[in-house]
Amino acid sequence: MKRKWKVSMVMILVLSMMMLSASATDAGASPQTMRIGVTVEVDSLSPFISYSQIGFEVFQLIYDSLVMLDENLETVPGLARDWEISDDELEWTFQLRDDVQWHDGVPFTSADVKFTYELLLENELGMYSGYLGGITEILAPDATTVVIRTEQPKANMLMNACPILPAHIWSEVTPDEYDTWPNSSPVGTGPFKFQEFRPGEYLKLVASDNTFHGRPGIDELIFVLYANTDTMAQSVVLGEIDAATNFSPSQLDTLDNNATIDAIAAVVMGFTQLSFNSWDDPSSTAHPLLQEFPVRHAIEYSIDKQRILDMVYSGQGSVGTTLVPPEGFYHYEPSESELRVYDVLRANQVLEEAGYMDLNGDGIREASDGTPLDFLLTLRADNADEVQAGQMIAGMVAEAGIKFNIETVDDGALIDKIYAGDFDMFIWGWGADLDPTTILNVMTTTQIGSMSDSNYSNKTYDRLFLEQQTIMDPDERREMVWEMQRILYEEAPYIILFYDNSLQAVNTSRWTGWTRIPEEGGYFFNLTNYNYLHVQPVAGVVDAAPDAGGGIGFAGMIIGGLIVAGVASFLMFRRRK
Amino acid sequence: MKRQYLAKKIIQSLVTIFFVLVFNYILFRVMPGNPLAMIMRNPRASQEAIERTRELFGLNQSWVVQFWIYLKHLFTGDLGISFLYRQPVTEIIVARIIPTVLMVGLAQILAIIVGVFLGVISAWKRGSRVDVAALGFSLVTYSMPTFWLGIILIFVFSVSLRWFPTSGMLTPGQSFSSTFAMVRDAARHLVLPVLTLSLVLIGEYTLTMRNTLLDVLTEDYMTTAKAKGFDDNYLIKKHALPNAMLPMITLIAINLGLVIGGTIQVETIFSWPGLGRLMFDALKARDYPLLQGIFLLITLSVIVANLIADVTYGYFDPRVRE
């Protein structure tokens, strides 16, 4: 009896090894599969719930919007094939394509647009509702016409990335369910159809035959979730995946040394900032000395941003100045006289001129009433880079006689502190749109307690903000946006530390036609779905992933042999003597 | 006598479970941070939307009422809705249990077999070359950082030799022609994580086994038994091992109880869709319902494993029963 058990155990081992070593046989007409490694998975498949960048990326593949951006980030027709604006600039008429169908075969009509926009305007849910600000009325006079009315001219009407949802599906959802309904099998009009989402593993889309974009060169598109970037980098090299984003800088060189891989540091519309609490509300604990512009300026003068970039971010990114990142049309670059570049002498000089002296000789300057320049810097514990940057900054400002005490908290606790106005300063970052409205809005008074993270308030700024949204002439609007950034740079509620880079890699031996958007930008997460639509498989190259291990039979033999030998010797040991 | 012992152990376990429930519940609520901010994540949310969400997740009730509702739902298997995923907690957890148990369970079994085997050999042949080798191997693997070991194994077996895939549980998005093909794919993905984890665990088992067996081997009754002329194999099996196994039972039971919790490190290196990573994500997002669910599951399995260990102890060691 006992011996039988032993024999069967060895049998099982041998069988399992044979199984491992059998060669891959899943042949057939293999689809062209593109696998993209990502480090964050979609937080939800519902556009009302998701707030993530990857969510944005996936929605623009499954769904379409009225207009979209091409490879030059210019507005081109989406679901709307044409549009015009009334003479008073308050009424937009969109002519929709008449041959579009939802993935389930139901025809797309103007009623879907009306339904989606009204639902978002009413409920203000999710990351897309902000695009619709200023719209007062949506009409659908016939199946292919949508008329949108606004109170004021709406400058960013054609920057609207809001996905159009199928009314025939979402009208079944009751309003109470909007913020929980998972939309677990999204139906869109976009170039890719949803197929499968396995949380913690991957999200799979397949090309749609039935789309105005034309059939993509990618048959199957899979976003593979990686829990660590070292393994992800190896997977790209091995061909297990065809592309990946969000590497750490140290992996970039390794990847770039590979002839078949193009690894890039893409410039993205985002920055990392040091935020000061500017709130004068009595409940706020904002440090009074931090409200003084010379103190803020001295802090900026004493920070060697480039050195932090080099030491903490391996040089990835660029030194930051103003609120709107430089890639866009609306970025304001401070003039030479305005610009505050790293200069410790200058920092000390600014403080001395403003009357901050170190009277008691403890190395920290004091105001005339004896209050020391002693502040609390709050950092996010789970962002090691920010923590390291914060520590370097604390060391740098000490050179100017300013003391930063550091505390680290988790994200949730920091958000609480911001809402409560209970902080001096902290470090984190923002991502921006091509249109500056969203990022400019962060600094308006109405956003205090909401999107504002510095509790900044300036009446001139607020007025300009409302006005710039309504200026249809880009150059005239830019003048206004520049003025707003000039105000912010002078009053410095933020010190913009760096503009961020995103590290991406693509396999150029298996896929061709990759385009960086914009020129210095990324292959993915660049506000367009251009690459997903235009990349083509290289003829004759077979998908490497399913049988990445050519020598698997041999490997199986060895590992199997080792285990069998181990178990056998264990059994023999027991039988012997 | 025996029934009483069993009943006592079961009651103790139930009391522990209740305290764990209360403790879990309170623990997540005294942590700093407002869950609502994490749920909404919508700076533009209207007051009504906020109220709706508060109601949905029961956050408009007092702690006591929330706790009562929580207990009531618990008995119907309803662990609430995850803040993060907006799905029932039970569904999310169940989806992760199989990958976790598969990987960690296999690694534990492998580690126990090899560890006990090495421990017995090195105790029996104390001071010999075999002992030194086994001891050295155990100490080295035991003290090796999991993350580092995993990366090394990936480098050797995935990158250089190309034998096994680097990560995941199945080739992502692959449609399989048969169940056999799927099992084979999963098996290939299992090799490296299981190997990593069991290498790290072997040392603990080997060292414990060796030490306890050494203690037993120096007992007088072992000398007596030897003097009676029993052969070595019989001596170890019948006289030494039963006594030496007692601490091992505890160790094995506790470790098996922890199987369900997964291992964050190994899951992270190999991007394994297990409970350890889920717990980490839930913690970062302050997802109370999900955290509570996972903690409950882990504590339950540890308590049950301990109960089993106690009962087995009673079976192996008559002294415990009295």
pLDDT in tens, A461-516: 999 999 999 999 999 999 999 999 999 999 999 999 999 898 999 999 999 999 99
Cα–Cα distance between A366 and A526 in angstroms, integer?
A: 47
C-beta separation of B289 from B69 below 8 A: no
Among A26, A49, A224, whose Cβ lies nearest the Cβ of B168?
Answer: A224
pLDDT at A10: 60
Residue the block writes with tokens 């300063």: A425
A476 touches chain B (CB under 8 A): no
DSSP B68-134: HHHHHHHHTT---B-TTT-SBHHHHHHHHHHHHHHHHHHHHHHHHHHHHHHHHHHHHTTTSHHHHHH
- Whether the pLDDT of residue A564 is over 70: the answer is no
B191 touches chain A (CB under 8 A): yes
Please write the tens of the pLDDT for every residue from A532-550: 999 999 977 665 544 444 4
Cα–Cα distance between B146 and B164 in angstroms, integer?
A: 18
Cα–Cα distance between A209 and B94 in angstroms, integer?
A: 36
pLDDT at A560: 59
Segment among A7-21, A327-341, A498-512 with least mean pLDDT? A7-21
Please report which confidence band the pLDDT of residue B46 belongs to, taking 50, 70 and 90 as the band edges.
low
Which residues, in sequence order, are CB contacts of A572 under 8 Å at separation 6+? none
For CATH 3.40.190.10, the residue range(s) in chain A are: 33-40+185-267+503-576
Name the phi and psi angles at A194, rounded to 5: -70, 135
Q: Can you tell me the mean pLDDT for B298-307? A: 86
Chain B residues closer than 8 Å to A574 by CB: 233, 237
Please write the tens of the pLDDT for every residue from A251-293: 888 888 888 999 999 988 889 999 999 988 777 888 999 999 9
C-beta separation of A529 from A191 below 8 A: yes
Beta bridge pairs of residue A506: A243, A262
Chain A residues closer than 8 Å to B172 by CB: 35, 201-202, 204, 222, 224, 545
Please write the tens of the pLDDT for every residue from A210-259: 889 999 999 999 999 998 888 899 899 999 999 999 888 878 888 888 88
B155 touches chain A (CB under 8 A): yes
pLDDT at A178: 82
The SS3 assignment for A117 reads helix
C-beta separation of A500 from A507 below 8 A: no
Q: Per-residue b/e over A471-485, b at no fewer than 16 CB within 10 Å?
A: beeeeebbebbbebb
Cα–Cα distance between B256 and A343 in angstroms, integer?
A: 60
CB interface of B with A, residues 32-51, below 8 Å: 32-35, 37-38, 41-46, 49
- Whether the pLDDT of residue A530 is over 50: the answer is yes
For CATH 3.90.76.10, the residue range(s) in chain A are: 64-177
Taking CA–CA distances from A574, the nearest residue in chain B reads: B233
For chain B, the distance separating the N- and C-terminal CA atoms, rounded to the nearest angstrom, is 8
Q: Which of A446, A367, A415, A201 is nearest to B277 (CA)?
A: A201
B181 touches chain A (CB under 8 A): yes
Please write the tens of the pLDDT for every residue from A140-183: 999 999 999 999 999 989 988 899 999 999 999 988 778 778 89
pLDDT at A17: 57
pLDDT at A493: 96
Q: Per-residue b/e over A332-366, b at no fewer than 16 CB within 10 Å?
A: beeeeeeebebebebbbebbeebebeeeeeeebbb
How buried is A271 (Cβ within 10 angstroms: 0-12 exposed, 13-18 middle, 19+ buried)? buried
What letter would DSSP give residue B238? I
pLDDT at A569: 57
CA angle A127, A131, A133 (to 5 degrees): 115
Q: Can you tell me the mean pLDDT for A541-562? A: 52
Taking CA–CA distances from B286, the nearest residue in chain A reads: A412
- Record: fold of A33-40+185-267+503-576: D-Maltodextrin-Binding Protein; domain 2 (3.40.190)
Closest approach of A121 to chain B, Cα-based (Å): 11
For CATH 3.10.105.10, the residue range(s) in chain A are: 270-500
pLDDT at A20: 56
Neighbours of B218 (CB within 10 A): 8
Pairing type for strands A243-245 and A494-507 reads antiparallel
Q: Can you tell me the mean pLDDT for B240-255? A: 82
Chain B residues closer than 8 Å to A224 by CB: 168, 172-173
Please write the tens of the pLDDT for every residue from A76-107: 999 999 999 999 999 999 999 999 999 999 99
Segment among A122-126, B1-5, B32-36 with least mean pLDDT? B32-36
C-beta separation of A70 from A76 below 8 A: yes
pLDDT at B36: 62
- Strand positions, DSSP E, A151-230: 192-198, 202-207, 220-225
The SS3 assignment for A102 reads coil
C-beta separation of A359 from A370 below 8 A: yes
Chain B residues closer than 8 Å to A234 by CB: 154-155, 158-159, 166
pLDDT at B38: 56
Q: What's the residue count for chain B?
A: 322
Chain A residues closer than 8 Å to B149 by CB: none
Q: Is pLDDT larger for residue B78 or for residue A317?
A: A317
- Strand positions, DSSP E, A78-170: 80-85, 91-96, 135-142, 145-150
Mean pLDDT of chain A: 87
- Domain A64-177 matching CATH 3.90.76.10: the answer reads yes
A571 touches chain B (CB under 8 A): no
CA angle B232, B214, A6 (to 5 degrees): 50
The answer to whether A179 contacts B44, with C-beta atoms less than 8 Å apart, is no
Which residues, in sequence order, are CB contacts of A348 under 8 Å at separation 6+? A298, A400, A401
What letter would DSSP give residue A334? P
Q: Can you tell me the mean pLDDT for A337-343? A: 94
Segment among A435-444, B25-34, B295-304 with least mean pLDDT? B25-34
pLDDT at B232: 80
Q: Letter for the amino acid at A577?
A: K
Measure Cα distances from A535 to A95, A125, A165, A523, A530 in Å. 29, 33, 26, 10, 8
The answer to whether B34 contacts A182, with C-beta atoms less than 8 Å apart, is no
- Strand positions, DSSP E, chain B: none
Please write the tens of the pLDDT for every residue from B88-121: 888 889 888 889 989 998 999 999 999 988 998 8
Cα–Cα distance between B199 and B266 in angstroms, integer?
A: 12
- Whether the pLDDT of residue B157 is over 70: the answer is yes
pLDDT at A576: 46
pLDDT at A243: 94
Question: The domain A270-500: what is its CATH number?
Answer: 3.10.105.10
pLDDT at A548: 40
pLDDT at A109: 95
C-beta separation of B206 from B122 below 8 A: yes
pLDDT at B124: 84
Pairing type for strands A91-96 and A75-77 reads unpaired
The answer to whether B117 contacts A43, with C-beta atoms less than 8 Å apart, is no
Residue the block writes with tokens 């990573």: B277
CB interface of A with B, residues 382-401, below 8 Å: 382
Please report which confidence band the pLDDT of residue A531 belongs to, taking 50, 70 and 90 as the band edges.
very high
Measure Cα distances from B108 to A5, B101, B209 in Å. 21, 10, 15
B89-124 helix and B288-316 helix, angle to the nearest 10 degrees: 40
pLDDT at A382: 78
The reply to whether ipTM tops 0.95 is no
Q: Letter for the amino acid at B111?
A: A
Name the phi and psi angles at A177, rounded to 5: -95, -5
Q: Per-residue b/e over B225-246, b at no fewer than 16 CB within 10 Å?
A: beeeebeeeebbeebbbebbbb
Cα–Cα distance between A414 and A405 in angstroms, integer?
A: 16
Spacing of C-alpha A189 from chain mean position: 24
pLDDT at A563: 60
- Whether the pLDDT of residue B11 is over 70: the answer is yes
Please report which confidence band the pLDDT of residue A11 belongs to, taking 50, 70 and 90 as the band edges.
low
The SS3 assignment for A536 reads strand
- Whether the pLDDT of residue A354 is over 90: the answer is yes
Q: Which of A225, A70, A102 is nearest to A169 (CA)?
A: A102
Closest approach of A384 to chain B, Cα-based (Å): 14
Segment among A300-309, A445-454, A544-553 with least mean pLDDT? A544-553
- Whether the pLDDT of residue B137 is over 60: the answer is yes
- Domain B3-32+79-321 matching CATH 3.40.190.10: the answer reads no
The answer to whether B278 contacts A200, with C-beta atoms less than 8 Å apart, is yes
Q: Letter for the amino acid at A391?
A: Q
- Whether the pLDDT of residue A63 is over 80: the answer is yes
How buried is A93 (Cβ within 10 angstroms: 0-12 exposed, 13-18 middle, 19+ buried)? middle
Where are chain B's structural domains? Answer: 3-32+79-321
Q: Which of B272, B172, B191 is nearest to A546 (CA)?
A: B172
Element (H, E) at A271: strand A261-276
* CA Rg value for chain B: 24
pLDDT at A405: 96
C-beta separation of B289 from B79 below 8 A: yes
Neighbours of A55 (CB within 10 A): 21
pLDDT at A246: 86
For chain A, the distance separating the N- and C-terminal CA atoms, rounded to the nearest angstrom, is 20
Q: Is pLDDT larger for residue B303 or for residue A321?
A: A321
pLDDT at A26: 45
The answer to whether B42 contacts A447, with C-beta atoms less than 8 Å apart, is no
Closest approach of A59 to chain B, Cα-based (Å): 17
- Whether the pLDDT of residue B40 is over 60: the answer is no
